[in-house]
């Protein structure tokens, strides 16, 4: 479906050269965005399974059965690899993160080795153990060398209350589901400008999420924003998309854009306030420590 693109010099983009608040916010539309970690390298690993089935299809029942099992192992390996790469990207993007519960990349390497060994067995005309073993180990090693290991330890978790961190994780997961529903809803409107505006608001909301994840004590202050306000934003997005897709109502579009502006300003203000509160707590800790040192007779030279 064709989509209309706009800008400062487009017919509806404000030709006087003065940007609106939404245009200023979206000026750098790629800020905070990340490419999909599961790129062409991982997606290309679905091809060997197809090749294996095609090359064993006419070799008889037993080679075909072995080939199908090997193709299943290679397909599962590629799927686990995609999931592991995305989990690793999420881990690297956060200052505080737990290691993935399931080592998907390492499991993918093992399954690749098994798939390579079964591929060799399916094409062998004689009984041979050494050849499948060599090819299987080679496939495992090359896969591990190409994609590496999964993160093996938690990051930035020293001094973090794990119970509070679990509470934060649940709230963040719910908030992310609201953001995903907003993205799905706005696609129905067929307005590229609004899609970019929603993405800009989502980046601001995720800054709040990251702040709360780094200090779970902020959850109480931010819970209303991550729950009630985001749920309201999701409902408003669904209603706007339904109305705008049917009628193209310009006023509804302006009202929805104003709502996003207000939400973004409030989320940004909440994030700044939490950061200032954290700084105030740090200053208090520093002053208390200095007073204790002074009482103990410790003075800087």
pLDDT top residue among 150 and 300: 150
Interval 70-93 mean pLDDT: 90
Token output for 297: 């007779």
pTM of the full structure: 0.59
pLDDT tens by residue, 256-300: 999 999 999 999 888 888 877 656 656 666 666 666 666 666 565
CA gap 205, 32 in Å, rounded: 11
pLDDT top residue among 279 and 189: 189
Contact indicator for 132, 118 with CB cutoff of 8 Å: yes
Residues 6+ positions from 85 with CB-CB distance below 8 Å: 37, 38, 42, 105, 147
Q: What is the pLDDT of residue 104?
A: 92
DSSP state of 97: B
| Residue 97 backbone dihedrals phi, psi, to 5 degrees | -155, 150
Spell out the domain ranges in the chain: 40-147, 160-295
Q: Is 31 exposed, middle or buried (0-12, 13-18, 19+ CB in 10 A)?
A: exposed
Q: What is the pLDDT of residue 290?
A: 64
Closest CA to 240 of 175, 195, 205, 173: 195
Q: What is the pLDDT of residue 98?
A: 74
Which DSSP helix (H) or strand (E) runs through 142? helix 130-147
pLDDT tens by residue, 65-74: 999 999 999 9
pLDDT tens by residue, 96-143: 677 888 899 999 999 999 999 999 999 887 778 899 999 999 999 999
Q: Is the pLDDT of residue 47 over 60?
A: yes
Q: What is the pLDDT of residue 260?
A: 92
Closest CA to 65 of 8, 2, 126, 119: 119
Q: What is the DSSP string of 8-66?
A: TTSTTS-TTSPPPHHHHHTSSTTTT----SS-HHHHGGGHHHHHHHHHHTTS-HHHHHH
Closest CA to 238 of 294, 193, 267, 198: 198
CA gap 219, 161 in Å, rounded: 13
CA gap 289, 277 in Å, rounded: 19
pLDDT tens by residue, 203-259: 999 888 888 877 777 777 788 888 888 999 999 999 999 998 888 888 999 999 999
Q: What is the pLDDT of residue 115?
A: 95
Contact indicator for 195, 9 with CB cutoff of 8 Å: no
Residues 6+ positions from 180 with CB-CB distance below 8 Å: none
Query: If pLDDT is split at 50, 70 and 90, which confidence band does 158 have?
Result: low
Question: 27-31, 62-66, 159-163, 297-301 — which is least confidently predicted?
Answer: 27-31
């Amino acid at each position: 479906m064709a989509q209309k693109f706009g800008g400062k010099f487009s017919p509806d983009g404000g030709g006087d050269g003065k940007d609106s608040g939404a245009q200023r916010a979206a000026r750098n539309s790629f800020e905070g965005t990340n490419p999909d970690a599961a790129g062409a390298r991982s997606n290309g690993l679905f091809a060997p399974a197809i090749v294996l089935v095609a090359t064993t299809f006419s070799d008889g029942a037993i080679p075909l059965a072995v080939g199908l099992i090997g193709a299943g192992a290679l397909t599962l390996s590629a799927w686990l690899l995609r999931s592991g790469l995305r989990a690793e990207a999420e881990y690297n993007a956060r200052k505080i993160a737990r290691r993935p519960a399931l080592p998907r990349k390492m499991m993918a390497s093992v399954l690749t080795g098994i798939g390579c060994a079964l591929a060799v067995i399916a094409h062998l005309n004689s009984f041979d153990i050494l050849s499948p073993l060599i090819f299987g180990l080679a496939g495992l090693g090359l896969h591990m060398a190409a994609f590496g290991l999964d993160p093996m330890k938690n990051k930035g978790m020293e001094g973090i209350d794990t119970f509070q961190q679990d509470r934060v994780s649940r709230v963040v997961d719910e908030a992310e589901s609201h953001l995903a529903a907003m993205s799905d809803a706005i696609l129905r409107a067929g307005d590229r400008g609004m899609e970019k505006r929603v993405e800009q608001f989502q980046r601001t909301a995720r800054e709040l999420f990251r702040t709360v994840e780094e200090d779970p004590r902020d959850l109480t202050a931010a819970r209303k924003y991550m729950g009630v306000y985001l749920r309201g934003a999701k409902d408003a997005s669904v209603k706007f998309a339904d109305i705008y897709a049917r009628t193209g109502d310009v006023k509804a579009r302006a009202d929805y854009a104003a709502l996003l502006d207000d939400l973004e300003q409030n989320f940004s203000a909440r994030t700044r306030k939490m950061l200032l509160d954290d700084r105030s707590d740090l200053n208090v800790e520093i002053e208390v420590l200095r007073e204790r040192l002074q009482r103990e007779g410790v003075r800087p030279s």
